[in-house]
Amino acid sequence: MDTNHKKDKKYLAVFILALLLFPLIFPNGSWCEETMEQRVMNNTSHARLAVEQAWETYHHAALGGTLSSPMSQTELEMNLHLSRALLASAYEAEDRGDMKTAHKLIKQSMQITDKVIVESQEPKK
């Protein structure tokens, strides 16, 4: 037998052993859940920073008198409160381990936050 064939058999044996041990090391696919959980926690942190940035952008425009109208100011502030409430609900879902709901709430919060930032930067009409 040549040495390459021996190496191939050795690698195959190690691969099969790893496949057999993998379920014992990570029962119930917990390695996937940890990855999803970590991703949602990172998204939650990112969303929190985005909400803070939206509030700063809004306040800068409101104090500078550059918001397009008083009605726009009221709508933006209501949306900021909604975005913050969605983020709080996302944290609660995350604490319960409901990563799917947390991800959905984060997405909704981010959409509102992005819209508020854009609308806060629109010039007066």
Burial class of residue 15 (count of CB atoms within 10 Å of its CB; 0-12, 13-18, 19+):
exposed
Q: Residue 35: which H helix or E strand, with range?
A: helix 30-64
**Whole-number pLDDT of residue 36:** 58
pTM of the complete model: 0.67
**Whole-number pLDDT of residue 27:** 57
Q: Is the dihedral of CA 102, 38, 53, 68 positive or negative?
A: negative
**Whole-number pLDDT of residue 28:** 56
pLDDT (tens digit per residue) in 50-60: 999 999 999 99
pLDDT (tens digit per residue) in 57-102: 999 998 988 888 889 999 999 999 999 999 999 999 989 989 899 9
Give the pLDDT mean for 29-35.
Answer: 54
> What whole-number distance in Å separates Cα of residue 53 and Cα of residue 58?
8
To 10 degrees, what angle do helices 70-96 and 30-64 make? 160
Tokens of residue 82, six digits: 């909604």
